[in-house]
Amino acid sequence: MPLIIDCDPGNGIPGANVDDALALCLAWSASQLEVSSVWTVFGNVTAAEAVNSAQFLADTFRVNTPILKGCDRPLDTYRAPSKWREKLDAPRFDSEILKLWGKSDCFKSGTISAQEDTSVSEDEKCEPPEQTALRLAKDILRNDSESSITIAALGPLTNIAALIRFQPDAAKRIKEIFLMGGCLGYGDLVDTNFAIDPLAASIVLRSGIKVTIVPIDVTRTTHMSLEYWLNTLEWACKYSQNVDRAMTIDSWLRPWIKYSDRTRPVDGMWVHDMVVIAHLLCPDITQVTSGFFKLSPHPKGKLIQIPNDGPAINQNFGSSKQLKKKLSKAQVITSVDNDRLLSLWKRAVFSCDIPPV
Ligand SMILES: [Ca+2]
């Protein structure tokens, strides 16, 4: 079944997460998955920068998957100034952080020589979500009319919500969505994907499309340490056919792991988005349950699970019976085996079935 990966990869951009990039590496390495398109969305970086980052990876993996630029603003505040953009982009103006990426000056995505400028016009940058939805609908409909689409959603859900709202016929082709987003625990903590565009998350959860949620509660139990990556790099480079790919991945992965290790309570990095693709490939490394969910207005984008009986988890919303009328049923991943997750990635991305050099 065709798989569309909707994502916000920030590989190569100082201070931007590379978990989408790890997910794309896995998806493009796995022959079981038929990646029909990659869509980008604002998040870790702008949607245009995400196109550059995805194209850089496509070149690394020598695939010609179409890469389409998606929405660059949340649905409900499309024209509003983007305060969150300023916050997310702050690291690229910090000289100490830039040094990790081997940069000395204020970073602009076009300055990465290996990542070509895709010359996105100013008009495209301001494209209204109706127009974006139309382009993405055409991309869905170019697939065989009989086939359904699966979407792996690794960023804010704006593109998919825009499709559901403005292109319902194309959205009907979406059979299932596997998404990384939502935070059930950790007090008031919210995850970026749901909190940046809670309206989009709500539209997707209420759409009736089958959804599997990989919440940040689970992805925060994952980690890839610098030591693990350096050992993997050494192992991969014993095989000559891996050397170029491994060194290219190292150019963006090592700076992020070092940065993440300094700024987050984790040994190395969380591999968030990779869990979605790993679940598609090898469901038995995860545990799944189903339940009823809704989004809290305070804090915006907080994911709430309502147990079958008894009060809501985290928040007091009254009786669960009343709530179920407005709730969305979804599957949720409850755990993942980190060792098997990393091993799956490593063995898929690097070929190791020929003798070492
Ligand atoms: Ca992401």
**Residues spanned by the domain of 296:** 2-349
- Residue 47 within any structural domain of the chain: yes
Distance 256 CA to ligand 1 centre (A): 14
Number of domains in the chain: 1
Report how far apart, in Å, the C-alpha atoms of 199 and of each of 77, 78, 81, 292 are: 10, 12, 17, 18
Stretch 285-294: mean pLDDT, rounded? 94
Enumerate residues 6+ apart whose C-beta is below 8 A from 299: 188, 190, 195
Distance 188 CA to ligand 1 centre (A): 20
| Contact predicate 115/52, CB 8 Å | yes
Starting at the edge strand found earlier in the chain, the sheet holding 34-40 runs 67-69, 34-40, 2-7, 149-153, 174-180, 210-214, 328-336, 286-296, 302-306
Distance 45 CA to ligand 1 centre (A): 10
84-111 pLDDT per residue, tens: 788 888 888 888 899 999 887 766 665 4
227-268 pLDDT per residue, tens: 999 999 999 999 999 999 999 999 999 999 999 999 999 999
Statement: residue 174 has pLDDT above 50? yes
Distance 70 CA to ligand 1 centre (A): 14
Statement: residue 325 has pLDDT above 70? no
Distance 214 CA to ligand 1 centre (A): 12
Distance 258 CA to ligand 1 centre (A): 19
Residue 124 is predicted with a pLDDT of 47
104-148 pLDDT per residue, tens: 776 666 544 434 444 444 444 568 999 999 999 999 998 766 778
Residue 354 is predicted with a pLDDT of 54
- Residue 355 within any structural domain of the chain: no
Distance 309 CA to ligand 1 centre (A): 33
Domain containing residue 32: CATH number: 3.90.245.10
Residue 109 is predicted with a pLDDT of 64
- Residue 271 within any structural domain of the chain: yes
- Residue 354 within any structural domain of the chain: no
Distance 20 CA to ligand 1 centre (A): 5
Taking 3-state DSSP, the helix, strand and coil percentages for the chain, each rounded to the nearest 5, stand at: 45, 15, 40
Q: What is the pTM of this model?
A: 0.90
Distance 328 CA to ligand 1 centre (A): 23
Distance 357 CA to ligand 1 centre (A): 36
